[in-house]
């Protein structure tokens, strides 16, 4: 398979899983009448955009994440209090924050249990070469970053469509579990903050909230840099 096809297959796979996650948040917002000004698949400069009702849908340059902009996350938006996240009851807030995780779990369940597994006949240990970049194993290191995930998606495609889809199922489930971690930038962290604010009867002021977000960002950046360093070392090894 040409390198370009590997690249496109990896790009498609990552964006499908991210898209499912963001779609989960979006659908929960729609269900509870919370406004969503923007939805982005990817981060960085916008490549394409489309206005869907009151929501701007965007495809960004770097396929390493995405976001759903939820109106009034910290406080009700003036003149739009009835469609603001902060105005909703706790159960609706939690379901909105869990929407992406639920979307990934449902997708994983479907891909892992309803996609038939067909192992393609091939040599047990295919040759690894620059012309065959997908054949790099996941067991060379204990930590895998975005580059490594990209390579694993490509490798799964090399084994056939069913293996590719089932690997996306595993990846979708992994993203759901990862987002449950109580790190402020992740859904799990936002869920924890929302529950604490509910129990204390008032939201954190902006100073404390920004400090919590800053401190929570540090371990996430450290983990990402460590994973990318591991990926790059495997590529040049």
Whole-angstrom distance, CA of residue 112 vs CA of residue 194: 32
- Phi/psi at 49 (nearest 5 deg)? -150, 155
DSSP-assigned states of every residue in 163-188: HHHHHHHHHHHHHHHHHTS--TTSHH
Give the global pTM: 0.83
The mean per-residue pLDDT over the stretch 103-111 comes to 96
For the stretch 24-60, pLDDT in tens is 999 999 999 999 999 998 888 999 999 988 899 998 8
Higher pLDDT, 207 or 3: 207
The mean per-residue pLDDT over the stretch 58-80 comes to 90
Higher pLDDT, 223 or 55: 55
Whole-angstrom distance, CA of residue 19 vs CA of residue 13: 10
Q: Which residues are catalytic?
A: 22
Q: What is the pLDDT of residue 140?
A: 44
Average pLDDT, the chain: 85
- Phi/psi at 132 (nearest 5 deg)? -130, 60
Task: Identify the bridge partners of residue 183 per DSSP, sorted by sequence position.
Answer: none
Helix 161-179 × helix 90-114 angle, to 10°: 160
For the stretch 112-130, pLDDT in tens is 998 877 665 555 444 433 3
Q: What is the pLDDT of residue 122?
A: 54
For the stretch 132-175, pLDDT in tens is 434 444 444 767 777 778 778 878 888 888 889 999 999 999 99
């Amino acid at each position: 398979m040409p390198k370009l096809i590997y690249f496109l297959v990896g790009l498609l796979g990552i964006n499908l899983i991210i898209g499912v996650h963001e779609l989960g948040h979006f659908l929960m917002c729609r269900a509870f009448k919370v406004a969503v000004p923007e939805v982005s698949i990817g981060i960085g400069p916008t490549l394409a955009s489309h206005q869907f009702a009151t929501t701007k849908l965007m495809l960004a340059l770097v396929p390493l994440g995405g976001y759903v902009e939820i109106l009034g996350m910290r406080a009700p938006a003036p003149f739009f209090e009835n469609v603001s996240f902060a105005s909703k009851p706790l159960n609706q807030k939690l379901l909105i924050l869990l929407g992406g995780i639920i979307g990934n779990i449902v997708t994983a369940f479907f891909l892992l249990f309803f996609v038939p597994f067909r192992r393609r006949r091939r040599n047990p240990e295919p040759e690894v070469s620059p012309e065959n970049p997908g054949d790099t194993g996941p067991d060379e290191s204990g930590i895998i970053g975005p580059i490594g995930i990209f390579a694993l998606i490509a490798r799964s495609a090399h084994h056939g469509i069913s293996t590719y889809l089932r690997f996306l199922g595993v990846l979708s489930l992994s993203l759901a579990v990862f987002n449950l971690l109580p790190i402020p930038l992740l859904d799990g962290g936002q869920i924890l903050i929302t529950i604490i604010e509910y129990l204390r009867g008032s939201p954190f002021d902006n100073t404390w909230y920004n400090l919590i977000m800053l401190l929570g960002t540090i371990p996430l950046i450290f983990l990402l840099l460590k994973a990318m360093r591991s990926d790059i070392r495997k590529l040049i090894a």
